[in-house]
């Protein structure tokens, strides 16, 4: 059976990676085959692209060049990792996916929405996540956490207006697709994990007795 494809989205510092890791561990304890990955950087080619994209001294990067780099990363990731894993029956948990491109490159940078949509569709070959977890955190609180007192990467270094536009993007995209998105409100790591578990168990029915027994800590 084809695996489920779950993506994690949100502003900087929302705790996506921590929460993705916790969900992955929980699923593995329950005996589910899981592949965790991220964008950009889920392949060897992507690791190089990620370095280029996030280097703080990257200088002035053209919005179009930036868009193409994220899509190049995604095209490789889809072909090399995501599709084969899903076809093999693994559930894929991905830290950011095409909704980040819509939020950052269309809403944040101001590139035409139709262009971003078209390239997203090309890079993914039409693959859409089964479920998208959107972590709710204000852009200012998220940035404070992400930077943690040190200077961040190139995107984190953008001004607050940019990050406000990105968050408005995520809010609008999620409102337009309520069937796919689950908005998870902020809280402690444990509270957020519990809300995510509630969302995924409800969606995929991973709550059978045998599954429950195996996921007891």
Which of 172, 181, 184 lies closest to 137 in space, CA to CA? Answer: 184
Q: Which residue in this structure is represented by tokens 């593995």?
A: 28
We find the least distance from the C-beta atom of residue 215 to ligand TMP, in angstroms, to be 27
Q: Determine the size of the site formed for ligand TMP (CB under 6 A).
A: 12
Q: Which residue in this structure is represented by tokens 């200077």?
A: 151
Asked if 39 touches ligand TMP (CB under 6 A), the answer is yes
Nearer to ligand TMP (CB atom), residue 3 or residue 169: 169
Distance CA 36, CA 131 (A): 15
Asked if 100 touches ligand TMP (CB under 6 A), the answer is yes
Asked if 155 touches ligand TMP (CB under 6 A), the answer is yes
We find the least distance from the C-beta atom of residue 104 to ligand TMP, in angstroms, to be 3
We find the least distance from the C-beta atom of residue 188 to ligand TMP, in angstroms, to be 20
Chain centroid to CA 92: how far? 11
Q: How many angstroms separate the Cα of 166 from the Cα of each of 23, 113, 138, 163?
A: 25, 13, 11, 5
Chain centroid to CA 125: how far? 18
Q: Are 80 and 98 in contact (CB under 8 A)?
A: no
- Report the SS3 class of residue 151: coil
We find the least distance from the C-beta atom of residue 8 to ligand TMP, in angstroms, to be 9
Residues of span 66-95 touching ligand TMP by CB under 6 A = 70, 95
We find the least distance from the C-beta atom of residue 207 to ligand TMP, in angstroms, to be 30
**Interface region with ligand TMP, contact rule CB under 6 A, candidates 33-41, 57-65, 126-134, 202-210:** 33-41
Asked if 132 touches ligand TMP (CB under 6 A), the answer is no
Which of 101, 99, 108 lies closest to 7 in space, CA to CA? Answer: 99
Which of 112, 85, 75, 68 lies closest to 5 in space, CA to CA? Answer: 85
We find the least distance from the C-beta atom of residue 146 to ligand TMP, in angstroms, to be 8
Asked if 104 touches ligand TMP (CB under 6 A), the answer is yes
Residues in contact with ligand TMP by the rule CB under 6 A: 12, 38-40, 70, 95-96, 100-101, 104-105, 155
């Amino acid at each position: 059976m084809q695996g489920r494809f779950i993506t994690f989205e949100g502003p900087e510092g929302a705790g996506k990676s921590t929460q993705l890791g916790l969900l992955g561990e929980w699923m593995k304890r329950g005996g589910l085959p899981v592949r965790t990955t991220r964008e950009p950087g889920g392949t060897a080619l992507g690791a190089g692209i990620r370095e280029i994209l996030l280097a703080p001294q990257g200088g002035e990067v053209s919005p179009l060049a930036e868009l193409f780099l994220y899509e190049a990363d995604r095209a490789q990731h889809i072909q090399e990792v995501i599709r084969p894993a899903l076809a093999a029956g693994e559930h894929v948990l991905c830290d950011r996916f095409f909704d980040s491109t819509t939020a950052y490159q269309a809403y944040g940078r101001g590139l035409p929405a139709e262009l971003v949509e078209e390239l997203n569709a090309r890079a993914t070959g039409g693959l859409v996540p089964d479920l998208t977890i959107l972590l709710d955190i204000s852009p200012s609180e998220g940035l404070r956490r992400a930077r943690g007192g040190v200077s961040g990467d190139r995107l984190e270094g953008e001004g607050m207006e940019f990050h406000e536009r990105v968050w408005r993007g995520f809010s609008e995209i999620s409102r337009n697709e309520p069937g796919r998105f689950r908005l998870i409100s902020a809280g402690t790591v444990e509270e957020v994990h519990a809300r995510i578990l509630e969302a995924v168990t409800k969606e995929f029915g991973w709550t059978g007795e045998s599954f429950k027994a195996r996921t007891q800590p």
